[in-house]
Homo-oligomer: A and B are copies of this chain.
Amino acid sequence: MDTAPATARRGRPGHDREGVLDAAVALFNERGYDATSVADVAGRLGVTKSALYHHFPSKEAVLDIALGRALDSLEATLDRPRGERTALEELRDVFRGATDALVANLPYVTLLLRVRGNGEVEQRALSRRRTFDQRVTALVAEAQRDGDIRDDVDAAVAARLIFGMINSLVEWYRPDGPIDGSRLGHDVVTLAIDGLLPPASV
């Protein structure tokens, strides 16, 4: 396993660890994990299979690291200490942070959202996703108890609907498309918290 800093040698695809990871994730998303072989990844990069095994012990290890990266970026939004924030303020930060994490790690989160639980690596990723969902639901419930948000929508349903909105980015947002990715965090927070009704009616 190459233990050099992940970003140190970017720009030489196939010869650095990041390049291998990016190429593998792209292929997993295009063809599915099961349908992609180590030889396919090597072929895409124009290197030998043994060049890949220099970086990763197995295809499963690549999947594990890729899913871990997606989950780490999402969980980071919940792992910040609460500090002075109310539950509602933390929710805003989580919605915005998760949206920014999706935009920044689009192929990795796309892979995560397609995981169906085949094998131990995928099972572990699904378990971390469930824990994430439960923590968001708990935050929604806390903001409801604070009286800061409506309580006529079940906390778990609200959490799932709002993350449905965020996760839908992997279906329609393209970094090279016309939509400004840096604006999406604002748009998600606005719709989730304030809704479509104009501020004037508040």
Contacts and interface: CB of A to CB of B under 8 A. Distances in A.
B187 A150 contact: no
Interface in A126-163: 140, 143, 147-154, 156-158, 160-163
Contacts of A168: 160-161, 163-165, 167-168
Contacts of A190: 150, 152-153
A91 B169 CA distance: 21
Interface residues of A, number: 43
Contacts of A187: 153-154, 157-158, 161
21 contacts: A143-B196, A149-B196, A149-B198, A150-B196, A150-B197, A150-B199, A153-B190, A156-B179, A157-B187, A158-B187, A160-B168, A161-B168, A162-B165, A162-B196, A164-B164, A164-B171, A165-B168, A167-B168, A168-B168, A193-B196, A193-B197
